[in-house]
Amino acid sequence: MERVTDHDERLPASPGPRAPLAWAHRIGARIPLVNAPMGGVAGGRLAAAVTAAGGLGMIGMGSAGSVAALERELPQVRGVDGPFGIGLVDWVVAAEPELLEVAIAARPALISVSFGTDLGWATRVTDAGIVAATQVYSAQDARRAQDAGVGVLVARGVEGGGHGAVNSTLPPLLDAVLNVASVPVLAAGGIGTPSSLAAVLRAGATGAWLGTCLAACEESSLSEAGRRALLAARAEDTVLTRAYDVGTELPWPARFPARVLRTEFTDRWTGREDELAADQSARAALAAAIAAGDPAVAPIDAGEGVGLVTAVEPAARVLDRLWSGATAHLADGPADR
């Protein structure tokens, strides 16, 4: 598998526990790039490719996560030289608490649990010697998570793909979280170019948590139809909606709508979720379209960076382009210097 060159000397000199390469090395990686734990997209194969390239590969257990699904993905990261992580969804763990036990027993370097308010899981994870991470949307979220023992904060801007609170775009959120954080902060939301990665590192992020820019990679578990839809989409083709969560009757908290590709379904039902909740036949039609993988109707999570995803590439190539490009930007300094 391909590996990414690290370029240590080009990073801003910021020694300490939040310095990018120091953190990467502490968790056993070479570069501070983490693939977001994307349910249905980041399986063991993508995680293994990211880890082999020098990053931290995460297996994502999304709304369909289960002990059985996790056990199916884990063999792919075993034997890869480097650390892996596991990302869980709070309400899925609440429905199947054994999922957290199995995740801890798998001995990943990092476990994230997102989209919940009870952070009691964090001490169980850290007591097992594993780094606990969660996505945060404000300085207040960051303080709470840190106080509960979360060791890595993921500042997730509203540009990002998938579920998340609608609070702030990444640049002001990152500043707000960095202001209160005493632990490493990864930046998430819309990062997909060397310059956007350089910007968050320059702002003080320890690394990046990358979703959309890796979702169409060769190693992702996305369907072919989903991959084609991502490649065809422009930046303005995403929408924030609760329509799919209501339409599929999944217990996503209302505080976390999802950013998805705009479809006939989102055009019809976004803002009319109460009507959808009462319309049994519309929900049955959605279930049938999802089962058939109909890309005009089925949900595909994607962030505003989707317009930059134009080819199916190995994850290592995407990471290499981002990392070597970002470190070159950082070495160059401002364009007018």
Ligand X SMILES: Cc1cc2nc3c(=O)[nH]c(=O)nc-3n(C[C@H](O)[C@H](O)[C@H](O)COP(=O)(O)O)c2cc1C
Rounded to 5°, the CA angle 171-173-175 comes to: 70
Comparison of 87 and 257: residue with beta carbon closer to ligand X = 87
Comparison of 24 and 200: residue with beta carbon closer to ligand X = 200
Task: Determine, following the binding rule CB under 6 A, whether residue 212 of this chain makes contact with ligand X.
Answer: yes
Conformational region of residue 79, where left means phi above 0, alpha means psi within -120 to 50, and beta covers everything else: left
The total of other beta-carbon atoms located within 10 Å of residue 119's CB is 18
Task: Determine, following the binding rule CB under 6 A, whether residue 89 of this chain makes contact with ligand X.
Answer: yes
Task: Determine, following the binding rule CB under 6 A, whether residue 215 of this chain makes contact with ligand X.
Answer: yes
Task: Determine, following the binding rule CB under 6 A, whether residue 108 of this chain makes contact with ligand X.
Answer: no
Query: Which of 328, 30, 58 has the alpha carbon at shortest distance from 193?
Result: 328
Task: Determine, following the binding rule CB under 6 A, whether residue 299 of this chain makes contact with ligand X.
Answer: no
Q: Which of 151, 189, 295, 299 binds ligand X (CB under 6 A)?
A: 189
The total of other beta-carbon atoms located within 10 Å of residue 139's CB is 18
Comparison of 29 and 230: residue with beta carbon closer to ligand X = 230
Cα distances from 114 to residues 105, 135, 299, 318, in angstroms, run: 19, 6, 20, 25
The total of other beta-carbon atoms located within 10 Å of residue 14's CB is 12
Comparison of 159 and 282: residue with beta carbon closer to ligand X = 159
* Distance in Å, CB of 124 to ligand X, minimum: 18
Question: Applying CB under 6 A, which part among 49-57, 198-206, 208-216, 308-316 lies near ligand X?
Answer: 208-216
Task: Determine, following the binding rule CB under 6 A, whether residue 301 of this chain makes contact with ligand X.
Answer: yes
Query: Which of 305, 301, 255, 256 has the alpha carbon at shortest distance from 40?
Result: 301
The residue ranges of DSSP E strands in 51-179, in sequence order, are 57-60, 84-89, 110-114, 131-136, 152-156, 162-163
Comparison of 282 and 316: residue with beta carbon closer to ligand X = 316
Q: What are phi and psi of 77, to 5 degrees?
A: -95, -10
* Distance in Å, CB of 34 to ligand X, minimum: 9
Task: Determine, following the binding rule CB under 6 A, whether residue 41 of this chain makes contact with ligand X.
Answer: yes
Comparison of 20 and 282: residue with beta carbon closer to ligand X = 20
Q: Which residues bind ligand X (CB under 6 A)?
A: 36-39, 41, 60, 62, 87, 89, 114, 135, 156, 159-162, 164, 188-191, 210-213, 215, 301-303, 305
